Amino acid sequence: MKRNFAIALLALSTLAAAGKALAQESAVRATVPFEFNVGGTVLPADTYTIKSSSGVLLIKSLDGKFRVITTSHYDGRDVQGGKLVFKRIGDRYFLHEVLCPAAAMHASLGTSKAEKQALRQEAMLGGGQPVLVATR
């Protein structure tokens, strides 16, 4: 009985430690030289810090004036070097992926309503083009 209790306690403490490790935040910094969309929010050209925790991204300008929180899903691709991947539709940019192996951040963002609307407007001219911005 004591042995079962000890094993259960060990398993519970291991799960708690794993949960803390997964919940730790990782962050990257990137200077984006153009205005871009995240979800329904338009962010100006600026330097941003991007933190990831449990499928949630916090994108915040260095001065703290601009911030947006969005959900993402893990993308297990192997990439070389950190980068933000934007989709360009017309003259608008939409953040699609945050890829940074150094911060263990491989996140893909879903397609927002604003992006779907822009895609419909650009349908006659062709699809959007990916744009890459390096991270530090």
Q: In the chain, what are the domain boundaries?
A: 25-134
Residue 40 backbone dihedrals phi, psi, to 5 degrees: -100, 10
pLDDT one-digit tens code per residue, 72-106 = 877 666 666 788 999 998 889 999 988 887 667 78
pLDDT at 55: 79
Contact 36, 47 (CB under 8 A): no
pLDDT at 1: 47
Q: 34 or 8: which carries more pLDDT confidence? A: 34
Residues 25 and 98: their CA atoms lie apart, in Å, by 14
Structure pTM? 0.69
Can you give the length of the chain in residues?
A: 136
Residues 25 and 82: their CA atoms lie apart, in Å, by 16
Q: What is the CA radius of gyration of the chain?
A: 19
Q: 103 or 53: which carries more pLDDT confidence? A: 53
Beta bridge partners of 31: 47
pLDDT at 131: 67
